[in-house]
Structure 1
Amino acid sequence: DLGEVSRQYFSDQEEQALGRAIMRDVYADPRYLDDPEIETYLNQLGYKLVEVSTRNQREFNFFVVDDPSINAFAMPGGNIGVHTGLLLAAQNESELASVVGHEIAHVTQNHIARMIASQSQSQWPTMAALALALLAARSNPNVASAAIASTQAFSIQNQLNYSRDYEREADRLGYDMLTRGGFDPRGMSGFFSRLERANRFYDSSAPAYLRTHPLTTDRISDMQSRSETAPYQQVADSLDFQLVRARLRARENSPADAVLAARNALKDKRYSSETAARYGLVTALVRARQFKAAEAEVQKLLSGKPTHPMIQQLAAYAALAAGTPALALQRYQAGSEAHPGYRPLQYGHIEALLAAGRSRDA
């Protein structure tokens, strides 16, 4: 168990402090995606895996980075970032869960703390440079972008790449989380095999994930061997996963192009979930400020699966964006009553109250 690490030189308190310092600057950076719906989903997925981990005594925080590259990374303090590119590249939810579980294992096994502790104290300023690169975002976005491009400031392990032993351990524990969490264990071998092929044939533009996570043929073989011995089970993607991907696609390209792409997908039935496809269309229509068309599609959504919190949140937000705060408040009220713990609805409800001039109620 490589996670049994001495904290003689890097205590748990020091790791938590470093994690908090870096996250303050991540939240201030323009690449941080402040989207409560997507972040809520990612935390729900992450904690579904954490809860079945054999070492789940610590807190985790999952956040999203608005970056098209395929990447995910663990940082000090249980902070795990996932790029939007990974959310869209995963062909199913089990593939996404396999990467998230792998990163959770890096945290539970104290791999980051071990790597930092293994450096002599004279090298610690190199680690601090990551936080300084993010600090630049507050004063000069151009400097911040250059710093991120050159140092991968979002990924602390870029300074200390994971060893093959760490990777094998994260594979093993991540696989266990997949199976215990009810996901398809073949998601891990399928996803990492595709990454390996991309690295082999397109070395100059290899996925960012492989820069800090060395991928070998032995690791791929181990993943495939484990999945081949597992009993076959077909695991359907959750509606949440499909809605999140539709939401991300609606953010791509220009608003008009996003609307056209969403309409064509619905017309040609190019979707795995009609509900998610329509959700994506409404998101794109609101973005394009086509509120009348958006409301017509909202009505279709509400007649189908109106109880899903992401759908109720979008219906209320569409009404608020269209300048009908009374309707928005009605929908937020209904959504909050149906899903009292769903934070995006709570945030939206407060925004609608403020828009209606009811600041005291907010």
Structure 2
Amino acid sequence: MLIKRMLLCCAVFSSAFIPAKAKSNFELPDLGTSALQALPFEKERAIGEVMMMQVRGTSPVINDPVLDEYISTLGNQLVSHANDVRFPFSFFIINNQDINAFAFYGGHVGIHTGLIAQADNESQLASVLGHEIAHVTQRHLARRLQQQQDNSGMTIAGMIAGLLATLVSPDAGLAIISGTQTQSALSQLTHSRGAEQEADRIGMRTLYDAGFDPKESGEFLTKLSAQMRYKQKPPVFLLTHPLPQSRVSDVRLRAQQYETRQYKSSLQFHLAKSRVIARYGSDSDISEAIFRKNLKNSAFGDTSALRYGLALTLIDQKKFTQAKPLLDELLAQDPGNLFYLDTLTDFYVGSGEPQKALEHLQAFHQLRPNNQVITLNYAHAAIEAKEYELAEELLRGFMLDKPEHFLAKQLLTDTYKHQNDKAAYHEANADLLAQVGAYMKAADEVQKALNHIEPQEEIKQKRLKALLAQYRAMQKELANL
């Protein structure tokens, strides 16, 4: 874990902003009030960028490189076996204990930590991702956007705001919208039964082709259905994904059409699940008790994920002496495991020995220089060891390949602050603010950067003035939505 204040994009910026990506060729989609007869793919991607920025600015998105690496690998494994994929997908995780996942324009798929924690196996988690991928490839949201405008006369911008609120936090979103919309409009914010059936069918085919168990789709829906019987409020996932009993039966029958295979358990899934429980579930002392109890009851099988989860909780409680033997044992079994390497960095940084983390990570960085887990942990350890030039070199090199990586930008901003490079710090901070749509604040940061540029640095002055004008123009575009 990188320092906790960097793990979450806190909702510190006004939700009045509808963000968009800061690029020199920035162009907001035309979201007028006239009927939208078709949603071209380039416009869908642009709308998706706007919505993703809004999510970053208003939701607890987790910037955890290990979980990002895992969920992106799993998601893209499914995408590689899907049909009708028209643009790259991106996957992200929100710190929320509800069982939920959602997808929106441009291939953005969000997963709640509660889904990872409550899934019994990787095929169940993959079944939900495959379902959401199918919603995107079959353009269910684009169809719904057209239908809503035709039926209600709402503006596209207004519908997107309502749709986003409902997808990310269905119960809260529906409560907000119900104050101004009819029940008919509310019903259009959930996927239709036809769309759900199509996503079930196509998602299951993708799931099977990617090497996962299609029967677990039915098991997951059965699990949600069982929760409905004992709770007054249904699981959040079902607020936007209706679950009539016939759907569970249909999914189970469809799964029987696929040949039976042997499906191996994924250690990476269990490690991710343990990490979510340890870091994003209960308090560390409660999580410690859970892992100790499960280890005591696990007489057979691989207990690596449970020992990993216990080590995390011990490090978070600064019980370093107890954590070290567990980590040594895990690393001896699998020295290059990204989950273990990340936690070893936590151990050394937390115990005041960041230099040891640098020494350990150096060889792995030479082997995998573009891997986000290794590079960002290496840079984090460098910052903690006060080797700021190394941190800057690592981060700038990494961002050549991933220029929009939010955590890398946070770490680079922190590096400039430690170096007392005020011009670079304010410019980097402006970039962070722009990524969540706070363009006026970003413009203010650029102005501060200009105040620290020497008169003879004409090229820097011109570049920053152009950036200042760009952010102001973006804010005007947003105001016109």
What is the match of residue 468 of structure 2? none
What is the match of residue 244 of structure 2? 216
Q: Note the residue ranges of structure 1 that are not aligned, 5 or more in a row.
A: 1-6, 135-143
1:296-335 mapped onto 2 (5 Å cutoff): 296-335=325-364
Distance 1:104 1:133 in 2: 19
Q: Aligned-pair distance for 1:348? A: 0.9
The total of aligned residue pairs comes to 343
Structure 1 residue identity aligned to 2:262: Q
**Does residue 129 of structure 1 match 2:154?**
no
Structure 1 residue identity aligned to 2:227: A
Query: CA offsets per residue over residues 12-69 of structure 1, 9 Å max, x none?
Result: 3332222212211222235222222112211111100000012223111111111111
CA contact 2:163–2:189 (8 Å) conserved in 1: no
SS in 2 for 1:58: coil
Distance 1:196 1:132 in 2: 25
Distance 1:45 1:359 in 2: 34
Q: Aligned-pair distance for 1:112? A: 0.6
Q: 1:158 to 1:329 in 2, by over 3 A?
A: farther
Q: Aligned-pair distance for 1:264? A: 3.0
Query: CA offsets per residue over residues 84-129 of structure 1, 9 Å max, x none?
Result: 1111111111011111000000001111111112222731243243
Distance 2:327 2:377 in 1: 17
Identify the match of residue 80 of structure 1 among 84, 109, 112: 109
1:342-353 mapped onto 2 (5 Å cutoff): 342-353=371-382
Q: Aligned-pair distance for 1:175? A: 0.7
1:186-335 mapped onto 2 (5 Å cutoff): 186-199=215-228, 201-202=229-230, 204-251=232-279, 252-269=281-298, 273-335=302-364
Structure 2 residue identity aligned to 1:204: Q
TM normalised by structure 2 equals 0.66
Q: Note the residue ranges of structure 2 that are not aligned, 5 or more in a row.
A: 1-35, 178-185, 392-481
TM normalised by structure 1 equals 0.87
What is the match of residue 150 of structure 1? 175
Q: Aligned-pair distance for 1:171? A: 0.7
Aligned CA-pair RMSD:
2.7
1:84-163 mapped onto 2 (5 Å cutoff): 84-120=113-149, 122-124=153-155, 125-130=157-162, 150-151=175-176, 160-163=189-192
Runs of 4+ aligned structure 1 residues displaced above 3 Å come to 128-134, 144-152, 270-273, 337-341
Moved more, 258-267 or 87-96: 258-267
CA contact 1:31–1:65 (8 Å) conserved in 2: yes
Percent of paired sites with the same residue: 33
Q: 1:314 to 1:79 in 2, by over 3 A?
A: same
Q: Which has the larger radius of gyration?
A: 2
Structure 1 residue identity aligned to 2:175: S
Identify the match of residue 58 of structure 1 among 84, 87, 94: 87
Structure 1 residue identity aligned to 2:154: Q
Identify the match of residue 168 of structure 1 among 197, 217, 227: 197
Distance 1:324 1:217 in 2: 56
Moved more, 31-40 or 170-179: 31-40
